Structure 1
Amino acid sequence: MRPVGSKYLLEEPLGRGATGTVWRASQRETAGAEAAVAGQPGETVAIKVLKEELAHDPDVVMRFLRERSVLLRLTHPNIVRTRDLVVEGDLLALVMDLVDGPDLHRYLRQNGPFSPVAAALLTAQIADALAASHADGVVHRDLKPANVLLAGAEGAAEMHPMLTDFGIARLADSPGLTRTQEFVGTPAYVAPESAEGRPQTSAVDIYGAGILLYELVTGRPPFAGATALEVLHRHLSEDPQRPGSVPEPLWTVIERCLRKRPEERPSAENLARGLRVVAAGIGVHASPAEAEAALGVAALLAPDPAPAPVPETGGDSGAADPTQVLPSTGAGGGQYDPSAATNVMPTTGAGAAGAAGA
């Protein structure tokens, strides 16, 4: 067991990602007034310990401290609550509620695609979470099945998705992080404007929701390739094709979310509303009126007139270095995984390099 500050004790790792490791942990004593949840001794929590290179970067540490109030006040039934933030020496950690259930990526691999109705209803709950966070000025920026936990998934009448890793991209996206060659994002889910380094807004989360919805009903993301670079190129240059198994109203929603121009994507609130209308209209017990409403869902998918901007991190107008990746051609490299986080190569002149599949 390993202590985190004076109040928490790490017990066992639950998973590792591009930015750190999530642990099952216990609380040793009540947290102070600076925490959102005081907790009780012996209580079980989840703690994400960020990678050491992040903790050693003063830009990241300052951002971590600056974003404390934003992360701690972000509460919603479909968002995993951040209870406390720990900064001690070379350690940065987020203390969160422990969700007893698999992540959506693992659930999909084990159980296969969802029905169109179930996919629409589950994604509507995720859109609810996004609407709440966007209203508070927080953009997730790494929406994917692996960042959706399913509370009570086993034997539950209805799945309760909970979006996690809010604020990780926001915390880690700093000039210092660029120096460490890390990129917080996943090729299969990256919006075109993120891949090109253009200014980003909450519309990147809507794009991610569209990719996720497509994957829920088909079992795979719409864009794949032999390398991360190929996947990113397809996001920029190709339109997704409708599979025969996807009902027309649901495809209307997916297609609108995956528009290349961010200003043409719906707001999270309108996305949630549209998905529930679609779910009601494509079910086996849908009335004629509900079916007709589902066919007219496009009218409900109005864009957000004031999308939440991604805060500037050293560039102009919120822009960032374009996402550039090298194919994993090194000896002994495994098969390319489109769901793995990538590295970024800053465009700083000759000799800049990075590797794919971090």
Structure 2
Amino acid sequence: MTSHRHARSGADAPSTDPSTGSSPRWDGQRLEGRLLDGRYRIGPRIARGGMASVYEATDIRLDRTVAVKVMHPGLGDDEEFAARFVREARAAARLSHPNVVAVHDQGDDDGVVFLAMELVPGHTLRDVIAKESPMPPARALALLEPVLSALAAAHRAGLVHRDVKPENVLIATDPDSGSSRVKVADFGLAKAVSADTQHTATGGVLIGTVSYLAPELVVDGRADARADVYAAGVLLFELLTGRKPHEGESPIQVAYKHVHEDVPLPSTLVPGLPAYVDALVARATARDRGQRPADAGVLLHQLRRVATAVATGVREDPELVADLMPRPPAAGTLGAGTGELTQPLLRPTEVPPAVERGDTAAEPWDTGEMAALLGPSQAADAAAGSPPPAEHTRTVRVPVDHAAAPAPRRTRRSRRGLLALVLALLLAAGVGTGAWWFGFARWTTTPGVIGLDRAAAVERLEAAGLEAEVGPRAFSRTVPAGEVMATDPAAGDRVLDGGTVTVTISKGEELYDVPRLRGMTEDEAQDALAELKLEFGGSALTWSEDVPEGVVISSDPRPGTTLRPGAVVNLFVSKGRKPIRVKDWTGKDADTARERMEAKGLVVEVTGEEHSDDVAEGDVISQDPVDGTLFRGDTVGLVVSLGPELVEVPNVRASGVDAAREELEALGFDVDTRKAPGYLGLGYVFSQDPGSGEMVPRGSTITLTLI
């Protein structure tokens, strides 16, 4: 097979194998330059893991850079594994959180099973540990807080990550602000928690990195949110100390230590750490998962308490230590009593025993699970391990009532003794048969029906000899409407043969549309939000010309937006009409006054025009109102000046000076006289300025020249 079919680009690549006529399957050759699914142009590889490689790619449809995660060749050929990969990708795509790497798309292009994800440029938490650890508690807690925030969102949505480790924590630096963004990746490998299975190991594949595996994952492969809590606690230990808590020459030795050894207190490696920091690590990494926080949300709350104590400089806080430190084993457990019983411990080369689940026998790991940690050769050796030597035994003290012990006496052989032995054996056999019947034979296992529709679920349960009862429907974020979301008893749990299994059908995700709140009072709007299980965030007051004071104008998000329960809705509430301060424009240009006041929403009317000797033409003589507060649409009246009144100058030439003066002064003019050159003393007007017929303002001076 030639390589060009695997490094194809767009339409140049053939759609079938010429030799077989079938679609070509990816055999692991280079992907750089290939166009996946007709959409993602693959660039350089930027990371490689145990099951997949990550490439930088260009989404040519949306013209953006993304990260494309491609499963290694061969894994995609396992239909069950590929189906789980696709199913978990869809579950992760529904998880929206600022600290979670978003999953955009998923597909299978000629055997290349891939995820398209948000590209987070930067580095990983592993790089930070290498450069900065051991680091101060404040820095370590600040780095872990967004990780826990992301995990808490996943746990609320019913997702368990199962592979929390520094390599899956990405840190990007914003070039503008210089601040860092922390995002958790690889939720595509997480398993959606459902009632039918919580196993991490599927088909012999153990998901998770051994250095961060919770003890219950090592022992019986079962995981819930507390497994992520354990891994987060190990992360915190590593941030504080720069070392992993458990190390060994092989993965199985590390797994052994997770099961049989507590995570050390960080202060044993970094003296001087506050005791409450030690307590937080101890609580998160308790081997008994019942002692750990129930999920990442609880651990996040505890971390913030510790971070507050660190930030305020508290050195000792016995109450906080007492709240966080795991409780010691109760009396009667390992180490209690006065007698001794030796019990072999798991050796690093042996198959780990299963944690007791309430049945009479424990189940070991299968070979596939061992191979996930040891490799095929070591797993085979471990599965055939020999009994442990004396140094690998532990002493368990059990109470012994010495007073009740009978005194030794000599026994003798007799037929009576033989008969008693036979009767005892028969009695033991009867008891064993009864225990087998009442403990196991009458019981069967609830089959898994999660994800089936009602009819298919009932059919499967009845085929298993069980009665199906449909209970009330419930909302689910992960299970589509009409499919089974849970059973009681849960899948894998024991149930009496012929017993009843209650099936819960999903109503789909619980969603509500933001109602129209405009016109309601603030209290009425809050009540309307509460009825739809939406949270009132806060109110912003704003001016409104048409909505009365105290009444809702709008909401954010807008009406009709579909939200999940608990989503926050903010309100914009009216402060009433916006007041407008009126300025006194008297003596100023009337056109400017009109423009400025109309821009504020006022109506300007010219109520009159008058002559004025004091106010220039076009300026405001008077204003009503002169000042004060108005509202949009209110009217301001202006009286505008026409300037001084003009009077026509009469002709007084050749008139006697007294007569001319009298006539001009009667028209409101001032009169000034002067003698003409060669004055004869006649007293007659020789000329006038301004001349006759000119229009001049009343009060102007008329100059008369006399002869």
Q: Same fold (TM over 0.5)?
A: yes
**Match of residue 299 from structure 1:** 323
Residue 119 of structure 2 aligns to a residue whose secondary structure is coil
Question: Deviation at 1:238?
Answer: 0.9
The code of the aligned residue for 1:277 comes to R
Matched, 1:18 2:50: yes
- Structure 2 contact 45–53 (Cα < 8 Å) conserved: yes
- Structure 2 contact 35–42 (Cα < 8 Å) conserved: yes
| Unpaired segments ≥5 residues, structure 2 | 1-32, 193-198, 327-358, 385-707
Matched, 1:274 2:274: no
**Match of residue 98 from structure 2:** 77
Larger radius of gyration: 2
- Structure 1 contact 195–324 (Cα < 8 Å) conserved: no
From the superposition, tell whether residues 173 and 236 of structure 1 become closer, same or farther in structure 2 (CA, over 3 Å).
closer
CA distance in 1, matches of 2:365, 2:149: 30
Structural mapping, 1:239-258, within 5 Å: 239-242=262-265, 243=267, 244-258=271-285
- Structure 1 contact 282–294 (Cα < 8 Å) conserved: no
From the superposition, tell whether residues 52 and 351 of structure 1 become closer, same or farther in structure 2 (CA, over 3 Å).
farther
The code of the aligned residue for 1:91 comes to V
Question: What is the RMSD computed on CA atoms of the aligned residues?
Answer: 3.4
Question: Deviation at 1:274?
Answer: 1.3
- Structure 1 contact 321–347 (Cα < 8 Å) conserved: no
Structural mapping, 1:95-106, within 5 Å: 95-106=116-127
**Match of residue 185 from structure 1:** 208
Residue 162 of structure 1 aligns to a residue whose secondary structure is strand
**Match of residue 144 from structure 2:** 123
CA distance in 2, matches of 1:191, 1:155: 40
From the superposition, tell whether residues 89 and 141 of structure 1 become closer, same or farther in structure 2 (CA, over 3 Å).
same
The code of the aligned residue for 2:43 comes to E
**Match of residue 57 from structure 1:** 78
Matched, 1:206 2:238: no
Question: Deviation at 1:53?
Answer: 1.9
CA distance in 2, matches of 1:197, 1:277: 33
The code of the aligned residue for 2:252 comes to L
Question: Deviation at 1:47?
Answer: 0.8
Find the partner of 2:110 among 75, 89, 94.
89
The code of the aligned residue for 2:172 comes to A
Deviation track 1:98-140 (CA, whole Å, cap 9, x = no partner) reads 1111011122113333210111122122111111101111111
CA distance in 2, matches of 1:345, 1:299: 44
From the superposition, tell whether residues 258 and 190 of structure 1 become closer, same or farther in structure 2 (CA, over 3 Å).
same
| Unpaired segments ≥5 residues, structure 1 | 30-39, 303-316, 327-340, 354-358
Residue 142 of structure 1 aligns to a residue whose secondary structure is coil
CA distance in 2, matches of 1:186, 1:225: 14
The code of the aligned residue for 2:238 comes to E
From the superposition, tell whether residues 16 and 58 of structure 1 become closer, same or farther in structure 2 (CA, over 3 Å).
same
Structural mapping, 1:124-143, within 5 Å: 124-143=145-164
The percent of aligned pairs where both chains have the same amino acid is: 31
Deviation track 1:319-348 (CA, whole Å, cap 9, x = no partner) reads 99468657xxxxxxxxxxxxxx84666999
- Structure 1 contact 147–164 (Cα < 8 Å) conserved: yes
CA distance in 2, matches of 1:208, 1:102: 20
Deviation track 1:22-62 (CA, whole Å, cap 9, x = no partner) reads 11110121xxxxxxxxxx12x11111101112111100222
From the superposition, tell whether residues 232 and 94 of structure 1 become closer, same or farther in structure 2 (CA, over 3 Å).
same
The code of the aligned residue for 2:215 comes to P
CA distance in 2, matches of 1:320, 1:132: 33
From the superposition, tell whether residues 295 and 150 of structure 1 become closer, same or farther in structure 2 (CA, over 3 Å).
farther
CA distance in 1, matches of 2:181, 2:281: 21
CA distance in 1, matches of 2:151, 2:322: 20
CA distance in 2, matches of 1:51, 1:85: 15
CA distance in 1, matches of 2:383, 2:42: 37
The code of the aligned residue for 2:169 comes to V
**Match of residue 217 from structure 1:** 240
From the superposition, tell whether residues 156 and 104 of structure 1 become closer, same or farther in structure 2 (CA, over 3 Å).
farther
- Structure 1 contact 192–235 (Cα < 8 Å) conserved: yes
Normalising to structure 2: TM-score of the pair? 0.40
Residue 67 of structure 1 aligns to a residue whose secondary structure is helix
Residue 147 of structure 2 aligns to a residue whose secondary structure is helix
- Structure 2 contact 200–221 (Cα < 8 Å) conserved: no
